[in-house]
Amino acid sequence: MRVGVVGVGCSKFGVRDVTLQEIAFEAVIEALKDANLSQEEIDLSVVGCVGTRSYELMPTVVINEYCGFSGKGPLGVEAACATGSAAVYTAYSSIKSGISDISIVIGVEKMTEVDTAVSAAIGGRAGNYLWEHHFYGTTFPAYYAMHATAHMARFGTTEKQMALVAVKAHRNAAKNPKAHFQKEITVEEVLSSKVIAYPLKLYDCSPISDGASAAVLASEKAVKDYGLDAVWFESIGFSSDTSNMTMRENFFSLRATRIAAEMAYKGAKISDPLRSFDFATVHDCFTIAEIIAYEDLGFCKKGKGGEFIEKGESDFGGKIPVNTFGGLKARGHPLAATGVAMVYEIVKQLREEAGKLQVDLKHYRALTHNIGGTGHFSWVFIFGR
Amino acid sequence: MIVESRELKLKNRIPVTRIAKYWEGLKEGKVFKTVCKCGMSYYPPKADCVCGNQTEWVEIVGEGIVESFTVVHSIPACFEWGGVYRIVIAKFEDVRVMGWSEEDVKIGERVSILTKKDASGIWKVWFEKR
Ligand SMILES: [Zn+2]
C-alpha cells in the first residue's frame, strides 16, 4: 500500500507578529484546502516543534487544539532541525502500518521571541551541552564553521564558493513570496558581511525565522476513495551520529547523510542521482552545509562540492537544481517547519505549480535531505508523481 | 502588540559524581579519557562502556594534531563575559578533544594539551602550539 502527500501548506517565513499556534494554522488551513479535506477526515495529527525559543514550553497540545485537531492524537515529535522529517515519517508510518488512513503533519517554530544572544546560547546546545557548550561556548554557526575550516583545509574549498551558495539561495528566494529574504545579494556582499564564526559570515548563515508548514498524507485507498491527487513516497532513508562533535570520524563529511542517502537510493533503486531526479531540496542551514550535501548525496565526488556550485550545476538549467525555493539559507529555517517545507516544495514542483520557480520535469522524481543538528540526524525522502 | 512572559530562570544542577575525576584532573592540569578492557576509548569520558563494563581512567598526554577550528565572533548569551574565542579540535591518539586556544593554530599543526581557568572561573582544556 503506497502512501501519498495529498495536500500541502506553508506560512510566510520571516519575523512574524503571530503566535506559534496562529502561524501553524496558516499552514494547516492551506494544506486542508489544498487536499480538499477538513479536520473531520483526519485520523491522526503529528506536531513537530523544537519549541526551545517560544513561550509555550510544551506546545504540542496547544498547537493541536488551535488547529482543530483535539482528539486526533497528537503525537509530538522532536529531532532538532530534522524535526519536520521525523514528524513526516511518524505520520507516514501510521498510514503504512494501517493504523490511520489520513494524517496531517504540522512543522512549526517561533524563533524570534528571544533576542539573538539568547538564541545563540540555545542553538549552541544542539550538540552535547556539558562537554561542548558549557566549557567552550559552541554556537550553531561555530559547529558548521568547524566543518568549513576542515573542508577548506582538506579540499581547498574557498569562501567565494560558499558565497555562491548564498547568492543562488537569495536569487531563488527573491521569486518566492513566502521566503524570509526577498532580495538578491552579490558575492561581494556575502564576503564583506560581518564574521559570525570564522569562516562563516552573516550571509553564509540561515536567518532566525518564524514559520510553519503542513502536509496531509493519505493511504492509496484513501486517495482513491476521496479522489485525491497524490505525490507518492518512493523511498525513505535515515541515520544519526554522535551528539559529541569530537566523536565523529571527520569534519568534512556527514556520515549520517551518506548512510541515509544510501538507504533511500537502494529503496528506490537509484544508482545515479543526477540521472534520476529533476531537482533536490537539501539542508543548507549554512552555505558549507550545501556544499557538503552535494558530495554526501552523490551529486559530485567528495571534495568537488565547491566546483559544483561554481559551475552552476545546482542552479536552474544545471545538472540538478537545488533548493529552488531559496533553501534554509534564504527562505528561512524555522527548525521544525523546514523538513515539512521541503515536502511542500517537492509537491508544488512535481505538480508544476511552482510559478516563476518551476523546474523542467523529466523524471517526475525529487528528493528531500533534512539534517538535525550538525549531522546528528539525517533524513532523505524520495518522492515521485 | 507584545505581552512579556513571566521570567523563568533556568540553571541545572548537573550530577557528575561518577565522572568527578575529570573535574579534579582539570584542576591538577590533567585531562582524562576513559578506556575499557574491551578496547573502547572514550572522550569525553564516560563511566559506562557500551559493553556493560565499568571504564578506567587514563590521562591524555603528548602531541595532538589540529583537525578543525573556528573563531566565534557572534557570542552566545552565557559567554558575554569575554571577547571573541577560538575553539579547536585536536586528535590525541585514539580520541579527539575540544578546547580553546589563544594562539592562531591551523589545521594540521601540532599542539600540547593543558588546563587553565577561563575568565568566568571554569577550569577547562586549552591547547598551545608545540
Ligand atoms: Zn567495553
User: Could you give the residue range(s) of every CATH 2.40.50 domain in chain B?
Assistant: 62-130
* Set A81, A205, A285, A300: catalytic member: A81
Overall size of chain A counted in residues = 385
* DSSP string covering A82-132: THHHHHHHHHHHHHHTTS-SEEEEEEEE---SS-HHHHHHHHTTSS-IIII
Q: Which CATH number fits domain B62-130: 1.10.3470, 2.40.50, 2.60.120, 2.40.30?
A: 2.40.50
* Interval A319-362: pLDDT, tens: 999 999 999 999 999 999 999 999 999 999 999 999 999 999 99
Report if residue A166 sits inside a domain.
no
Residue A147 contacts B, CB cutoff 8 Å: yes
Structurally, chain A folds into a number of domains equal to 1
Cell of B56: 578506567
Report if residue A45 sits inside a domain.
yes
Query: Which one of B68, B80, B87 has the shortest CB-CB distance to A136?
Result: B87
Give strand pairing partners of A200.
A197
Chain A residues with CB under 8 Å of B68 CB are 146-147, 149-150, 251
Report if residue A97 sits inside a domain.
yes
Q: Which of A169, A210, A158, A212 has its CA nearest to residue A337?
A: A212
Query: Of all helices (H) and strands (E), which one includes residue A28?
Result: helix A20-35
CATH number at residue A43: 3.40.47.10
Give strand pairing partners of A214.
A9, A106
Report if residue A89 sits inside a domain.
yes
**Residue-by-residue pLDDT tens, chain A, 385 positions:** 899 999 999 999 999 999 999 999 999 999 999 999 999 999 999 999 999 999 999 999 999 999 999 999 999 999 999 999 999 999 999 999 999 999 999 999 999 999 998 998 899 988 999 999 999 999 999 999 999 999 999 999 999 999 999 999 999 999 999 999 999 999 999 999 999 999 999 999 999 999 999 999 999 999 999 999 999 999 999 999 999 999 999 999 999 999 999 999 999 999 999 999 999 999 999 999 999 999 999 999 999 999 999 999 999 999 999 999 999 999 999 999 999 999 999 999 999 999 999 999 999 999 999 999 999 999 999 999 9
Q: Which of A122, A128, A134, A149 to mutate to test the interface with B (most CBs of B within 10 A)?
A: A149
* DSSP string covering A183-249: S---HHHHHTSPEEETTEEGGGB----BEEEEEEEEEHHHHHHHT---EEEEEEEEEE--SSGGGSS
Q: Please, are residues B109 and B100 in contact by the beta-carbon 8 Å criterion?
A: no
Mean pLDDT over the full length of chain A: 97
The domain in which residue A36 lies consists of 3-114+208-226
Report if residue A29 sits inside a domain.
yes
Cβ-based neighbour number of residue A189 at 10 Å: 16
* Interval A215-255: pLDDT, tens: 999 999 999 999 999 999 999 999 999 999 999 999 999 99
- In terms of DSSP bridges, do strands A211-219 and A3-10 run parallel, antiparallel, or are they unpaired? antiparallel
Report if residue A281 sits inside a domain.
no
Distances in Å between the Cα of B106 and the Cα atoms of A159, B66, B69, B89, B95 are: 16, 7, 8, 11, 19
Query: Of all helices (H) and strands (E), which one includes residue A370?
Result: strand A365-372
ipTM: 0.97
Chain B residues with CB under 8 Å of A128 CB are 44
Residue of B nearest to A128 (CA): B44
Q: Give this prediction's pTM.
A: 0.97
Chain B residues with CB under 8 Å of A135 CB are 98, 122, 124-125
A49 given a catalytic annotation: no
Report if residue A167 sits inside a domain.
no
